[in-house]
Amino acid sequence: MPNDPSVSRRIRCGIGLSVDDIDVDAGVLHVRRQLKKVHNRLVFALPKGEKERDVPLLQHLAKRLQAHLDEFPARPVTLPWGNPDEPESDRETEERAPQTHKLVVTAAWGGPVRRDSWNERYWKSALVSAGIIPVHPESHPTAKRRQVLKFVPSREHGFHALRHTFASVMLDARENPVAVSSWLGHADASITLRIYGHMLPAADGRGRDAMDAWFEADS
């Protein structure tokens, strides 16, 4: 799972979230940046598809985010934009200028979380604590907290599962596939339907009733 590029992109966007991206009043999360490793150094960069997007902020999630921030306040992280290399022109200097954002999720020492270790060090550890998956049998029972435990490889239990859950619940509730596609960052709705189309509920006659109502309105 950690080497799956698509999963890595989702993780990078999640750990690039800042407090300024949370708009409780409007009920949206602004997906504006991701954390990306370039030449073995971290930078801020545009999210999937090289474009920003907004996704619905559920009331439940807003409360959980606030509880998290109350216990673990956001911390400012400063990184170059797009490319960490020394700029060779005024234009590159402007484009790569460091940005500071108060990130919702940071490492224990206050810096940015590297996506390389997120899935194993944080996500899988949380699943173990919740009793969802076991620790890999090769992990030493007295391993220190700072050491990365080993976990049984499983796509089913990867961080990407949250994305599937979101799409599944939305489509099962008959949310507009075009809107869901936009929230997922897909180029168009056909991609969303190809991946998640089986999540749409079976026809229940609502379309037929709508057509009958349309004809009756003209009679």
pLDDT of residue 5: 44
Residues 89 and 87: their CA atoms lie apart, in Å, by 6
User: Mapping DSSP to helix (H, G, I), strand (E, B) and coil, where does residue 43 land?
Assistant: strand
**What is the per-residue pLDDT across 74-117, written as a single tens digit (0 to 9) for each?**
999 999 999 999 999 999 999 999 999 999 999 888 899 887 67
What pTM value is reported for the model? 0.74
Q: Could you give the CA distance from residue 100 to residue 77 in angstroms, rounded to a whole number?
A: 5
> What residue type is 94 in one-letter code?
E
The SS3 call for residue 77 is strand
- Give the amino acid at 104: V
- pLDDT at site 127: 83
Q: At what angle do helices 177-184 and 161-172 cross, to 10 degrees?
A: 160
CB 185 within 8 A of CB 32: no
Question: For the segment 128-170, what is each residue's pLDDT rounded down to a tens digit?
Answer: 888 887 766 565 555 554 445 566 566 667 777 788 888 888 8
Helix (H) or strand (E) holding 94, with range, is helix 90-95
Chain centroid, CA 23 distance in Å? 16
> Angle 103-109-114 (CA atoms, 0-180°, nearest 5)?
60
